[in-house]
Amino acid sequence: MFGEHASFIIPSYIISFVAIVGMTIYIIAQHKLRKAELKRLEESGIKRRADNG
Amino acid sequence: MTTETIKPSIWAFANPTRFNTFASKAIPVLAIITFALLAVGLWMSFNAPEDYQQGYTVLIMFIHVPAAWLAMMSYAVMSASAIGTIVWRHPLANVSLRSAAPLGAMFTILALATGSLWGKPMWGTWWEWDARMTSVLVLLIIYLGLIALSKAFDEPSEAALPLAVMTLTGAPLLPIIKFSVDWWNTLHQPASVSRFDRPAMSAEFLYPLLIMALAYTAIFFTLHMMAMRNEILSRRIRTMKMQAARKQSSKGAA
Amino acid sequence: MLALLKREILLSIRAGGGALTGVLFFLAVVSVFPFAVGPDTKLLSHLAPAILWIGALLASLLGLDKLFAQEREDGSLDLLVMQPHPLAITIFIKALAHWTMTGLPLVVATPMFGIMLNLSPLGIGATMITLLAGTPAISFIGAVGAAVSVKLPRGSMLISVLVLPLVIPILIFGVAAITGALEDPAPFTAPFLFVCAITLFTSVLGPLAASIMLRHSAD
């Protein structure tokens, strides 16, 4: 498949795929982590709005 | 309404909470558009006929050229955000700038990597210090420098203006780099580049390329919005932690 | 204005013989090249313009982190910002003083290094003129980098990383102009005028950008 240059075509697709999917997974993981952290903080009684106290 | 009392002057202009609600609705839509475009683009790419000159390596073009375009577009988005930071001190502009930098660096690396993999079978070399490759490499260095700068400050809001000023300082130099290296190149090795700009591209290659470019653009905007949402969340966590620490210390004093 | 320039230059002389250290660094960079490339005089004279320009580039980066550091430490940064005349002019003078201490000595020292690298008299002249026209731009762009990282305790590495890619066009046109002077078909005037244009542009935009930055970090 893809002729004599398959060893160049396939890696370039793999690299692009890995980079973009990897970046997406990283961003989603960060989102999950931060959501969890936010929840933890809110449960421990820290309010988002400062009550000037 | 202000979500934070620490920096009301800055945070009053925009509403990160409203952005996050909007982002939560927009991201799934954007993701679906991205997947659709990618599916169509890839299908069209792999069904494109073999190029009589380049053979199957033309397949690399469909992911190389969009990556290179996005590498430039990310910088355009960052420059627009930088103007937003300097002129209006809009906090979302800084969030946008910060979030776009790693994406821009990623697309630049992809453009370089796929270009290298395309260059080896076509020109017989992995790397050539020609106009475009050199200017894109410089672009990568600028991206990485900006990322380093954004990480160098303890307080994210302090990095806002330095980042914006540095981004804009780099912006007018990008076309200069591009043209000057082009020009410099004509002195030393004129031939090889012209093959890159093939005159008129036939429709069977042009359409898949355009769809792939749109798909990459959609990828960028989806990831950018997700990264912006993360950045806002992490700032919220930061202020909450600081408030908690403050409360604790005032309790300890009393 | 002149008083400020004088003061800046005097300060940097007192702070450890600025000009001499710069030239010394230049000498060190230039003399490292023959070790790496080999003592082939033909090759060296071919590479000489590039070696001299790279040496000047690196030497000009020296001391950029000190441009506003002292003001920040003793608190006179706020005074600078609150001066009656525009801050950009003060920064222009400071960048000019930086250039007088780093760039100008290199221009003066170029003939000596040129002879060491077997460069022809014409090449030496071209190198001197392009360095004279081009190195101020490095100081002006560097002022932006210095202003941006003024709040960072260890900003000097970062300044180099940020400033180096931005000065590449100057390097390209500078070396191209020297090549133009030495080799017949290549033009000298066009790239040389580009170098001048970049320096003029950055002499306005650099201090302006740096002043926006400093005003922000002062309040």
C146-149: long-range contacts at Cβ-Cβ below 8 A with a sequence spacing of 24 or more?
C146/C64, C146/C65, C146/C67, C146/C68, C146/C210, C147/B165, C147/C67, C147/C68, C147/C91, C147/C209, C147/C210, C147/C211, C147/C213, C147/C214, C147/C217, C148/B149, C148/B162, C148/B165, C148/B166, C148/C213, C149/B149, C149/B152, C149/B162, C149/C65
Is residue B252 one of the residues assigned to a domain?
Answer: no
State the nearest Cα–Cα gap between C151 and chain B, in angstroms: 8
Is residue B250 one of the residues assigned to a domain?
Answer: no
State the nearest Cα–Cα gap between B83 and chain C, in angstroms: 12
Higher-confidence position of B203 and C105? C105
Of B145, B158, B180, the CB nearest to C151: B158
**For chain B, what is the mean pLDDT?**
79
Is residue B234 one of the residues assigned to a domain?
Answer: yes
**Percent of chain B whose pLDDT exceeds 70:** 80
* pLDDT value of position C45: 82
Q: How far apart are CA C111 and CA C63, in angstroms?
A: 24
Residue A34 and residue B135 in contact, taking contact as beta carbons nearer than 8 Å: no
Residues of chain C positioned with their CB less than 8 A from the CB of B169: 141, 144, 166, 205-206, 209
**What is the pLDDT confidence band of residue B8, given thresholds at 50, 70 and 90?**
very low
- What are C2-52's pLDDT values in tens digits? 777 777 777 666 655 556 777 888 888 888 888 888 778 788 888 888 888
What ipTM is given for this predicted complex?
A: 0.80
* pLDDT value of position B14: 58
* Domain boundaries, given as residue ranges, for chain C: 2-218
- What are C54-70's pLDDT values in tens digits? 888 888 887 787 777 77
Structural domain including B185 reads 47-189+208-241
3-state SS string over C65-104? HHCCHHHHHHCHHHHHHCCCCCHHHHHHHHHHHHHHHHHH
Residue C37 and residue C51 in contact, taking contact as beta carbons nearer than 8 Å: no
Is residue B220 one of the residues assigned to a domain?
Answer: yes
Is residue B218 one of the residues assigned to a domain?
Answer: yes
Could you give the number of structural domains in chain B? 1
Average pLDDT over residues B193-220: 74
**What is the pLDDT confidence band of residue B158, given thresholds at 50, 70 and 90?**
confident
Residue B55 DSSP one-character state: B
